[in-house]
Structure 1
Amino acid sequence: MQRLKRTVSLMSIAALMSTATVACTSGEEKADGNSPAAKTDSNVASSGFPIVEQPLTLKFFARKSPPNGPYANMLVFQEYEKKTNMKIEWEDVPQDGFAEKKNLLFASNELPDALYKAGITPLEAVKYGSSGMLAPLEGLIDKYAPNLQTLFKQYPEIKPAITAPDGHIYALPGIVTLTSGRTNKPWLNKAWLEKLNLKEPKTTDDLVQVLKAFRDNDPNGNGKQDDLPMSERNWDALIATMSGSWGLESQMGYQLEVKDDKVHIWVTDPRFKEYLQFLHMLYQEKLLDQEVFTQTETQFVGKMASGNIGFFHNQASDPFTKKKDDFMGIAPLAGPHGDQKVNANPVARDFGTFAITSVNKHPEATMRWIDYFYGDEGSIFFRYGIEGQTYNLKKDGLPEYTDEIWNDKRGTGTTIGQFSPWPGGGAPHLISEKNATAINPAEVQEAQTKLDPYMPKQVFGAPLFDEKTAKEVDTLRQDIDTYVAETTSKMITGAVGFDKWDEYVKTLEKMDLARLESIYQKAYDTNYKKK
């Protein structure tokens, strides 16, 4: 199992907070069970533990990822119940079919107290928030969420990215302040590079020459021409990972850039055409994986793990841990016009991970319950567990899972997933440099340093639209996105020639691409433009 996924599962053990010794930051509530509980409501403490003096029970509806065991059995939640005096009755639903059950939940109006790891979409947040099914959270955050308040101040782009047009916050995101957790790094097979006596590529033209050498000169030394020069996860990754070399920056969760406060969707831009022509050349020359549009996630991970690949992008090194010494991160390649940009995810990376419903009779306690995991201490507790049992502190003071966790025969992801819901992603918590050593090892840190000079100054998150506009955007994007993906994929493979480019542009114009751009422009002006 990948090292990243191993780390994720350990969050559950983190629950044994009574023995945790990690210090709180100044913006956090004190987690020491002996700290005094300052009361602001009849049964809810504004700080300290327990959260409530009189025990209470809440019902949570939660997504359960494949590596996860039953939530009720997770050590992190069992220990947190002791610490908070709050019992959670979990309805944990397997990932496959979760979206359908979530829809039925709202349709039947049989609501739990909260939705956890819920994957609530912006449209769902606005729809069910404005209809009164989801509770507004901003007032609760102001009074009962010091960790979230601190993050909002440090990263002002978070709040507008999760605030609905009516001014309310209906769902909390997963927050990633770890820069290396928000980028896909370009990894190059340095073992092949050294064997063939090649130099590290600096430009896209250099890359082509390196890939041709990988293709033709048997760098894996098995006497067969089975070396894979380059691959990417899928169409989305292929478009996003190197588009910055053509000056194309992805903002607001879409293929658009913002220059001088003007939004531009670039899927018809001449620079995008040039990029597609470059990818077509790679594909035709068999430098690019011929399965890039058909492979599964498992197949792509297997290719990374095998080490028999020359160049690809991935967030961390966990899929190829056993081959990590063969690879190195490189700087983004300079394109034909000198462009050298990196596309990155926003700090509020995962939207809609947690929401409180209107039937919840204890929203103050619930907010305090979840806020803990957005601080340093709580997030380490969530991901690593108990010092001396499931993790140890390294010399640099950062947590590291025990050998027993890493070497468990079940695989670390499954091992962690029995005591924490972290594996599978989408959990409501903070990922930072203080709690992510497993997904941010030395080679990943080094790879990120090569990207840092080319990072965007700010990454704008996908906007929340009012329900009417959201439905319009959804309708427009369903047609536009499908057409763009299908047609550009065919251009890359050669099934559609670039003599059809003008026709492609005119078709998108008829699909009202300009209207979609104007909607994003208004959202930018409202949420992000400096007044």
Structure 2
Amino acid sequence: MKPTKRRFTSLGTVLCASLVLLAACTNGQDTQPAAKAPVKEGDSTLNTSGLPIVKAPLTLNMLAGQSPLHGEWKDKLLWKEAEKRTGIHIEWTLVPQANLEEKKNLLLASGEIPDAFYGGGITSQDMISYGQQGVFLPLNDLIDKYAPNFKKITQQYPEVLKGITSPDGKIYALPKMSTNPTHRLNNKLFLNQKWLDEGSLKMPGTPDELYQVLKAFKAKDAARVPLGGTDIGGIIRTLTGAWGLQNRGSSNSYLDYNEKTNELRFFPTDPNYKEVLEYVRKLYAEGLLDSEIFTNTVPILTAKINKGIIGGFPSINTVPAGQKRTDYAGLPQALKGPYGDQLWSGMTSVLQNQGAFVITKKDKNPEATMRWADYFIDGEGAVLYWMGVEGKTYEMKDGKYRFVQDIVNNPNGLTLDQGISRDLVAPFTTHPIVREERFAWDTGEGLPEVIQAAKNLQPFAPKEIWPAFLYTKEENERMIALGNDIHTYIFEMQTQFITGKAPFTKWDEYVTTIKKMGLDEYMKINKAAYDRYKSR
């Protein structure tokens, strides 16, 4: 995961003539609702359970973000099979993900909206603002009556329902979720086991032992980069738990909970956070941390690993190591810090994205639409979404769902994601689905060393994980103003402290500056959001 630099996005209001808008946003497809009669409860054409969902064919218009991998959706095996099973045909308006924010805002501003946004870039701000305006339908009753799969998830994981309930008590969207602990433990530290063995070194159990291991890596060969990565946030999240920070997971930027005072805490001003930055500064100053950590990308990191110069890196999996990944192993346990803290805080909530699916006021068939979306959350629908059709895209091996060889070892050199995307849309999307361990065997989270790393760290994960908090429309407006400035300043100073451009003698000045930027108001708003979350 990238470090949270700017969590908040302004809601752009753009006006555009409808003809120009449609030409820009439809990707050559018609967004106007097809003629159809409403399918309501009690209507003989709506099946309230089982398949098909409707007795008479029904067409719905949906907007979705389109990954460069995906190509056209209408001919994909996934949607053809889904239509056969459910009786519902989807007319897709596909928008390249790079342009999704702009196109979504144009549609919402003009009122030329589809029946639903399916992974359509709806933010939590959008969800509440347009929900209260009546553009997005409240889903509470629809979920209760027509979404048994989603209801089951919320019963098992109450934080999901609490995390999507708006301040007005209404639910305006279905979320993207993950129950796979290997995926949710998104920040694991992998070290070069071969280098450890060559130096007769043990896996570190404390930050100081990690420092000694990295020093030994460097002493063996000055050309080595003992610790690499693709962003500084991953390095910091590797360490915060050892100082008792980020003890409610990583979904709420810089917020956690002070166990001593029983209060919400803004930890970037905490003395322990200063110690974390001092530790990272030491690694950077001594050449133990990649000097290019602030500009690295995954391809750059992979190239360095292929050169045999990287001793370790934090990541959700070992995919950046490519074919050399077998040299890397995860920590046997969380690092134990100087004050006895032993926590692995780089873990996200089951609730991954709050605005994955919304139904708009244009939809004349919200009941059928809700049943359609719920179908892919569990059971045969989830198998179809993630794996496709048995014998065509997947097969069962030793009781596990595995993609066919034409996908995992494509003779034409397609990558795994490219192979999957020919018939499915799972890679790089934000849809109202559940990422489960049973569908991960052929992904980075299914690699043996990654599964083992997660098992090692899971006992040290925070016992309570917060999803991202929801704010009222008024609170959002203030958080945009306050959060952008505060978060940007924190990231800039974090970089300066680590690189030595700002000495730690300026720490008090740094804290004072954040307070002057409106930290009290920032925390008051977050306290209100936290109190609402806890009260549900």
TM above 0.5: yes
Aligned match of 1:280: 281
For residues 226 and 317 of structure 1, the distance between their equivalents in structure 2, rounded to whole angstroms, comes to 22
Aligned match of 1:256: 255
The 5 Å alignment of 1:36-51 reads: 40-51=42-53
Runs of 4+ in 1 over 6 A off after TM superposition: none
Quickly say closer, same or farther: Cα 1:383–1:301, change in 2 above 3 A: farther
Please report how far the alpha carbon of residue 319 of structure 1 lies from its aligned counterpart in structure 2 after TM superposition: 3.1
Aligned match of 2:93: 91
For residues 357 and 420 of structure 1, the distance between their equivalents in structure 2, rounded to whole angstroms, comes to 25
Letter in structure 2 aligned against 1:474:
I
2:199 corresponds to 1:186 = no
Does the 8 Å contact 1:186/1:332 carry over to 2?
Answer: no
Aligned match of 1:412: 416
Does the 8 Å contact 1:379/1:431 carry over to 2?
Answer: no
Q: What do residues 27-86 of structure 1 show as CA deviations (whole Å, max 9, x unaligned)?
A: xxxxxxxxxxx9754422121111101111111110011211211121101111111111
Please report how far the alpha carbon of residue 304 of structure 1 lies from its aligned counterpart in structure 2 after TM superposition: 5.2
For residues 201 and 47 of structure 2, the distance between their equivalents in structure 1, rounded to whole angstroms, comes to 63
Does the 8 Å contact 2:394/2:403 carry over to 1?
Answer: yes
Structure 1 residues 303-312 or 472-481, which shifts more?
Answer: 303-312
Quickly say closer, same or farther: Cα 1:41–1:154, change in 2 above 3 A: farther
Q: Equivalent of 1:456, from 459, 462, 479?
A: 462
For residues 41 and 134 of structure 2, the distance between their equivalents in structure 1, rounded to whole angstroms, comes to 28
The 5 Å alignment of 1:215-254 reads: 215-218=218-221, 225-249=222-246, 251=248, 253-254=252-253
Letter in structure 1 aligned against 2:506:
K
For residues 307 and 152 of structure 2, the distance between their equivalents in structure 1, rounded to whole angstroms, comes to 42
Residue segments in structure 1 that go unaligned for 5+ positions in a row: 1-37, 219-224
2:434 corresponds to 1:422 = no
Quickly say closer, same or farther: Cα 1:287–1:448, change in 2 above 3 A: same
2:143 corresponds to 1:141 = yes
Q: What do residues 396-438 of structure 1 show as CA deviations (whole Å, max 9, x unaligned)?
A: x120111111122222211211221211132221111222222
Please report how far the alpha carbon of residue 338 of structure 1 lies from its aligned counterpart in structure 2 after TM superposition: 2.1
Does the 8 Å contact 2:100/2:121 carry over to 1?
Answer: no
Please report how far the alpha carbon of residue 187 of structure 1 lies from its aligned counterpart in structure 2 after TM superposition: 0.8
TM-score by length of 1: 0.88
**Partner SS for 2:269:** coil
Please report how far the alpha carbon of residue 321 of structure 1 lies from its aligned counterpart in structure 2 after TM superposition: 4.7
Please report how far the alpha carbon of residue 463 of structure 1 lies from its aligned counterpart in structure 2 after TM superposition: 1.2
**How many equivalent residue pairs?**
486
Please report how far the alpha carbon of residue 384 of structure 1 lies from its aligned counterpart in structure 2 after TM superposition: 1.0
Please report how far the alpha carbon of residue 237 of structure 1 lies from its aligned counterpart in structure 2 after TM superposition: 2.3
Aligned match of 2:376: 373
**Partner SS for 1:174:** strand
Please report how far the alpha carbon of residue 529 of structure 1 lies from its aligned counterpart in structure 2 after TM superposition: 4.8
Letter in structure 1 aligned against 2:166:
A
2:436 corresponds to 1:432 = yes
Aligned match of 1:340: 342
Q: Equivalent of 1:389, from 382, 392, 407?
A: 392
Quickly say closer, same or farther: Cα 1:41–1:454, change in 2 above 3 A: farther
**Partner SS for 2:478:** helix
**Partner SS for 1:434:** helix
Q: What do residues 106-134 of structure 1 show as CA deviations (whole Å, max 9, x unaligned)?
A: 01110001111123211111111111111
Aligned match of 1:328: 329
Aligned match of 2:299: 298
Letter in structure 1 aligned against 2:407:
I
Letter in structure 2 aligned against 1:298:
P
For residues 405 and 272 of structure 1, the distance between their equivalents in structure 2, rounded to whole angstroms, comes to 45
**Partner SS for 2:190:** strand
Quickly say closer, same or farther: Cα 1:39–1:321, change in 2 above 3 A: farther
Aligned match of 2:312: 311
Q: What do residues 261-317 of structure 1 show as CA deviations (whole Å, max 9, x unaligned)?
A: 521111111000111000100000111111111223432354456664212111123
Structure with more relative contact order (C-alpha pairs < 8 Å, separation 6 or more): 1
For residues 458 and 529 of structure 1, the distance between their equivalents in structure 2, rounded to whole angstroms, comes to 15
Letter in structure 1 aligned against 2:204:
P
For residues 134 and 297 of structure 1, the distance between their equivalents in structure 2, rounded to whole angstroms, comes to 37
Quickly say closer, same or farther: Cα 1:518–1:85, change in 2 above 3 A: same
Does the 8 Å contact 2:247/2:462 carry over to 1?
Answer: no
For residues 306 and 448 of structure 1, the distance between their equivalents in structure 2, rounded to whole angstroms, comes to 27
Structure 1 residues 98-107 or 323-332, which shifts more?
Answer: 323-332
For residues 234 and 101 of structure 1, the distance between their equivalents in structure 2, rounded to whole angstroms, comes to 29
**Partner SS for 1:57:** strand
For residues 471 and 252 of structure 2, the distance between their equivalents in structure 1, rounded to whole angstroms, comes to 13
Aligned match of 2:15: none
Please report how far the alpha carbon of residue 508 of structure 1 lies from its aligned counterpart in structure 2 after TM superposition: 0.6
Does the 8 Å contact 1:63/1:94 carry over to 2?
Answer: yes
For residues 315 and 308 of structure 2, the distance between their equivalents in structure 1, rounded to whole angstroms, comes to 13
Quickly say closer, same or farther: Cα 1:437–1:376, change in 2 above 3 A: farther
Aligned match of 1:213: 216
Please report how far the alpha carbon of residue 388 of structure 1 lies from its aligned counterpart in structure 2 after TM superposition: 2.3
For residues 363 and 306 of structure 2, the distance between their equivalents in structure 1, rounded to whole angstroms, comes to 45
Q: What do residues 299-354 of structure 1 show as CA deviations (whole Å, max 9, x unaligned)?
A: 23544566642121111233335223211111221122221211210001122111
Residue segments in structure 2 that go unaligned for 5+ positions in a row: 1-39
For residues 477 and 309 of structure 2, the distance between their equivalents in structure 1, rounded to whole angstroms, comes to 44
Quickly say closer, same or farther: Cα 1:504–1:259, change in 2 above 3 A: closer
Does the 8 Å contact 1:215/1:228 carry over to 2?
Answer: yes
Does the 8 Å contact 2:245/2:256 carry over to 1?
Answer: yes
Aligned match of 1:12: none
Letter in structure 2 aligned against 1:443:
E
TM-score by length of 2: 0.87
Does the 8 Å contact 1:235/1:485 carry over to 2?
Answer: no
Letter in structure 1 aligned against 2:503:
G
Structure 1 residues 305-314 or 88-97, which shifts more?
Answer: 305-314
Q: Equivalent of 1:198, from 195, 198, 201?
A: 201
Letter in structure 2 aligned against 1:390:
T
Identity among equivalent pairs (%): 40
**Partner SS for 1:71:** coil
**Partner SS for 2:281:** helix
Quickly say closer, same or farther: Cα 1:360–1:424, change in 2 above 3 A: same
Does the 8 Å contact 2:299/2:320 carry over to 1?
Answer: no
Does the 8 Å contact 1:306/1:320 carry over to 2?
Answer: no
Q: Equivalent of 2:453, from 440, 444, 447?
A: 447
Does the 8 Å contact 1:379/1:435 carry over to 2?
Answer: no
For residues 377 and 482 of structure 2, the distance between their equivalents in structure 1, rounded to whole angstroms, comes to 35
For residues 535 and 448 of structure 2, the distance between their equivalents in structure 1, rounded to whole angstroms, comes to 37
Does the 8 Å contact 2:137/2:172 carry over to 1?
Answer: yes
Does the 8 Å contact 1:307/1:320 carry over to 2?
Answer: no
Does the 8 Å contact 2:41/2:367 carry over to 1?
Answer: no
Aligned match of 1:22: none
Quickly say closer, same or farther: Cα 1:262–1:49, change in 2 above 3 A: same
